[in-house]
Chain A
Amino acid sequence: DQQVKQNSPSLSVQEGRISILNCDYTNSMFDYFLWYKKYPAEGPTFLISISSIKDKNEDGRFTVFLNKSAKHLSLHIVPSQPGDSAVYFCAASADNNDMRFGAGTRLTVKP
């Protein structure tokens, strides 16, 4: 039962353009959402999060948008840089419950 879905396994973007990574979830009890970034042979690192009381959270080049009615969130990276090339995992949790991760989207930013 995959409660968090990242339907695009890969995304390729030109340097300087916007990268948009999407994530859908099925559990309406989820109230906290996170994005993690993972380089090869390293563990995931926390990137940005958003609480369900908000619909947008921004940190530098990274912005996460939450659409609760659609059970959808997205991560925008602008401008994209080659160093952003990595696998991005979406994660969601309900209070005091397990965090569920998506399968990841591999982002490639071309110079």
Chain B
Amino acid sequence: GAGVSQSPSNKVTEKGKDVELRCDPISGHTALYWYRQSLGQGLEFLIYFQGNSAPDKSGLPSDRFSAERTGGSVSTLTIQRTQQEDSAVYLCASSLGRGRGNQPQHFGDGTRLSIL
């Protein structure tokens, strides 16, 4: 089925390198979210895109993190100068509708990022 697709599924990189994580949302979903799940933790909100509105970046942990969503579809999460504490599973989700609150989000399988 045409669910949320994330790539790569696994990424191992050295500390200090930049990484790019990609998310293809479900076609027609106007809302797109990035989350991070560190070991033993819940889902930590990172950033939210809704249509053509300015993204909500309030969850980004530092200025090394940025994200783009081109053409209202594909999104890329970029982490510059990676640190070991960036190691986590990065999850992307998309949903229908204008409001975030009452629309179930559909998640991709995540990218497991490991910083050596």
Contact = CB atoms under 8 A, between A and B. Distances in A.
B40 interface: yes
Contact of B41 (A41, A49, A93, A103): A103
A43 B107 contact: yes
B36 to A, nearest CB: 11
Interface stretch (A54-62, A65-73, A94-102): A94-102
Most buried by A among B41, B59, B106, B107: B107
Interface string B1-44: 00010100000000000000000000000000001000011110
B104 A96 contact: no
Interface stretch (B68-76, B80-88, B93-101): B93-101
A44 B107 contact: yes
Contact of A94 (B48, B101, B109): B101
Nearest to A48: B104
Contacts of B93: 43
Interface residues of B, number: 25
Contacts of A6: 42
Contacts of A32: 101-102
Given A36-B107, A43-B6, A98-B45, 18 more contacts: A6-B42, A42-B109, A43-B4, A43-B108, A43-B109, A44-B43, A45-B106, A45-B107, A91-B43, A93-B101, A94-B101, A95-B101, A97-B100, A98-B56, A98-B58, A98-B100, A100-B45, A101-B42
19 contacts: A6-B42, A32-B101, A36-B107, A41-B109, A43-B107, A43-B109, A44-B91, A44-B107, A45-B106, A46-B105, A46-B106, A51-B102, A89-B43, A95-B99, A96-B101, A98-B48, A98-B58, A100-B45, A103-B41
Interface of A: 2, 4, 6, 9, 31-32, 34, 36, 41-46, 49, 51, 89, 91, 93-104
